[in-house]
């Protein structure tokens, strides 16, 4: 299937990708799966679905004070006792 080149649709998908900390391709795939589940193929319906997913992602971010990027950064921080830890081959 040829990619959709509508700038508004791409912008919504890019905002969704940024909000979820995923790639734009993954965000578009998420919208495609949701539209397939609902059985819609029209571009306007896909835009509405993408906007709805973006609104849901933004509301989840507001509920969770810590974003997924901040959580990931926190997980990557080394603890004081693990600073000099090395794995040998």
69 CB-near residues (< 8 Å, 6+ apart): 21
For the stretch 54-77, pLDDT in tens is 999 988 877 776 666 677 777 777
- The structural domains of the chain, with segments of one domain joined by +, span 7-65
Local structure of residue 78 (DSSP, 8 states): P
Instruction: With cut-offs at 50, 70 and 90, classify the pLDDT of residue 40.
Output: very high
- Reported pTM: 0.68
pLDDT, residue 20, reads 86
Q: What does R_g of the chain's alpha carbons equal in angstroms?
A: 18
């Amino acid at each position: 299937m040829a990619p959709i080149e509508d700038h508004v649709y791409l912008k919504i998908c890019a905002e969704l990708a940024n909000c979820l900390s995923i790639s734009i391709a993954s965000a578009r795939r998420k919208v495609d799966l949701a539209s397939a589940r609902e059985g819609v193929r029209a571009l306007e319906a896909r835009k509405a679905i993408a906007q709805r997913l973006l609104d849901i992602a933004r509301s989840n971010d507001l509920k969770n004070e810590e974003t997924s990027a901040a959580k990931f950064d926190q997980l990557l921080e080394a603890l004081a006792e693990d600073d000099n830890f090395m794995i040998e081959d």
